[in-house]
């Protein structure tokens, strides 16, 4: 008998490639389409089933997505922090529903089209960086637990995006391969998270306020602090070379300063997930990533338990523009060994 596996499918090229690769590997593939924002229905799942040549199940997860992802995201913005919704959605909604569905239909494996790998080290499974450095998504999966990782499969981990698109096109799915790739968070829509805030929040929560320099002098105004984040200058009429360096949510005030002032060598984390305490706190090869792809700290990091969380010390010059609410993720070589939320 073929081994049964469920695959999260969306109609995009990556999940289509995932299905094709697993069918080629001899699995009995069952697709699972999740309706998170209400844009997908059972008819969409049927159409995708015909296109991919596998059964595609439709699952309505709008309620859990709203409660676990969208509402906390908005609450975080209104508190002056910058949440990372994808790092919550993956373990608490997407992968969790794949595992649930797999067990319902008798499958013991579950897969997605993430550009990551699953590796084993000392008897434990870990998420690891994918081969395509420009598409690597391991940063967003730091909270996957043993229950999820026990059966997780990520077929695109050793693949390069351009070759994946070529493979899907060659299989006869040219319309999927040529589809536009979305780079934004799925529930932002075309207007970004600013549009979402204006839809969901009352006028008082989004009122304009002052922009001050670090001496306290008012230099400009803003449209409402939830629309801004640390390091931002876009959308503000501020002196050239300046950016947001502090958000005072209680006073609805932004403070600006020089970008170089945003380097820090000490980070504190809450809501920590650690795969192996001894490895994390004893490694001399520990690295920290504070944004998925972009400006990340150089050099080795040192981590230690601190006040129910973790304190991380970095080599000079440290991390740039760290934002409360964003993840800091620990790596040893390519393996994700833990992470937490910056506070």
Categorize the per-residue pLDDT at 8 as very low, low, confident or very high, splitting at 50, 70 and 90.
very high
User: What is the pLDDT, as a whole number, of residue 178?
Assistant: 82
User: What is the pLDDT, as a whole number, of residue 1?
Assistant: 63
Categorize the per-residue pLDDT at 148 as very low, low, confident or very high, splitting at 50, 70 and 90.
very high
Structure tokens, 238: 């501020």
| 89 annotated active-site | yes
Listed residue (94, 109, 271) closest to 118, CA to CA: 109
Q: Tens of pLDDT along 206-223?
A: 999 999 999 999 999 999
The structural domains of the chain, with segments of one domain joined by +, span 4-177, 202-257, 262-342
Phi/psi region, residue 195 (left: phi>0; alpha: psi -120 to 50; beta: rest), is: alpha
Q: Tens of pLDDT along 187-210?
A: 787 678 888 899 889 888 899 999
- Which listed residue (37, 186, 201, 264) is catalytic? 186
User: What is the pLDDT, as a whole number, of residue 202?
Assistant: 86
Q: How are beta strands 243-248 and 218-222 bridged, if at all?
A: unpaired
- Which listed residue (89, 116, 243, 323) is catalytic? 89
Q: Please give the DSSP secondary-structure letter assigned to residue 331.
A: E
Q: What is the mean pLDDT of residues 173-194?
A: 78
pLDDT of residue 331 exceeding 70: yes
Count of H helices and E strands in the chain? 11, 19
pLDDT of residue 111 exceeding 70: yes
pLDDT of residue 41 exceeding 80: no
41-50, 102-111, 162-171, 271-280: least confidently modelled range: 41-50
pLDDT of residue 140 exceeding 90: yes
User: What is the pLDDT, as a whole number, of residue 184?
Assistant: 67
Q: CATH number of the domain at 4-177, please?
A: 3.40.50.620
Categorize the per-residue pLDDT at 303 as very low, low, confident or very high, splitting at 50, 70 and 90.
very high
Q: Tens of pLDDT along 244-294?
A: 999 999 999 999 999 999 999 999 999 999 999 999 998 999 999 999 888
Q: What is the mean pLDDT of residues 115-138?
A: 96
| 201 annotated active-site | no
Task: Say how far apart CA 240 and CA 219 lie, in whole Å.
Answer: 12
The dihedrals phi and psi of 297, each to the nearest 5 degrees, come to -60, 145
Give the CATH number of domain 202-257; options: 3.40.50.10300, 3.40.50.150, 2.30.30.280, 2.160.20.60. 2.30.30.280
Task: Say how far apart CA 238 and CA 221 lie, in whole Å.
Answer: 9
Categorize the per-residue pLDDT at 341 as very low, low, confident or very high, splitting at 50, 70 and 90.
very high
Higher per-residue confidence, 228 vs 44: 228
Task: Say how far apart CA 17 and CA 176 lie, in whole Å.
Answer: 10
Q: What is the pTM of this model?
A: 0.93
Phi/psi region, residue 53 (left: phi>0; alpha: psi -120 to 50; beta: rest), is: left
User: What is the pLDDT, as a whole number, of residue 182?
Assistant: 66
Are the beta carbons of 325 and 73 closer than 8 angstroms? no
SS3 state at 9: coil
The answer to whether domain 202-257 and domain 262-342 are alike in fold is no
pLDDT of residue 181 exceeding 80: no
Give the CATH number of domain 262-342; options: 1.10.10, 1.10.260, 2.40.30, 3.40.50. 2.40.30
**How many C-alpha atoms does 153 have within 13 Å on its Cβ side?**
22
In the chain, % of residues over pLDDT 90: 85
């Amino acid at each position: 008998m073929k081994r049964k596996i469920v695959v999260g499918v969306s109609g995009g090229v990556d999940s289509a490639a995932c299905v094709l690769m697993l069918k080629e590997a001899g699995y009995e593939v069952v697709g699972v389409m999740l309706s998170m924002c209400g844009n997908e229905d059972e008819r969409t799942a049927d159409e995708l089933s015909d296109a991919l040549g596998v059964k595609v199940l439709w699952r309505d997860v709008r309620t859990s997505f709203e409660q676990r992802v969208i509402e906390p995201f908005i609450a975080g913005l209104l508190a002056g922090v910058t949440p990372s919704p994808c790092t919550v959605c993956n373990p608490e909604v997407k992968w969790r529903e794949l595992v649930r569905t797999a067990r319902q239909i008798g499958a013991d494996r579950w897969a997605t089209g993430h550009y990551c790998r699953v590796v084993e080290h000392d008897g434990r499974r870990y998420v690891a960086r994918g081969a395509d450095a420009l598409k690597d998504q391991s940063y967003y999966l730091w909270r996957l637990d043993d229950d999820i990782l026990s059966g997780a499969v990520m077929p695109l981990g050793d693949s390069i995006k351009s070759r994946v698109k070529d493979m899907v096109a060659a299989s006869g799915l040219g319309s999927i391969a040529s589809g536009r790739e979305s780079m934004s968070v799925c529930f932002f829509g075309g207007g970004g998270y600013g549009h979402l805030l204006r839809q969901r929040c009352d006028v008082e929560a989004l009122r304009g306020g002052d922009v001050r320099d670090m001496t306290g002098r008012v230099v400009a105004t803003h449209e409402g602090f939830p629309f801004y984040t640390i390091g931002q200058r876009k959308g503000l009429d501020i002196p050239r070379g300046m950016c947001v360096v502090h958000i005072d949510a209680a006073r609805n005030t932004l403070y600006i300063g020089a970008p170089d002032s945003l380097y820090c060598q000490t980070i504190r984390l809450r809501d920590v997930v650690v795969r192996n305490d001894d490895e994390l706190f004893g490694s001399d090869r520990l690295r920290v990533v504070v944004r998925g792809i972009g400006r990340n700290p150089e050099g080795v990091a040192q981590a230690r338990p601190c006040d129910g969380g973790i304190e991380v010390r970095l080599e000079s010059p440290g991390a740039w523009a760290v934002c409360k609410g964003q993840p800091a993720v620990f790596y040893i070589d390519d393996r994700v060994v833990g992470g937490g939320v910056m506070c």
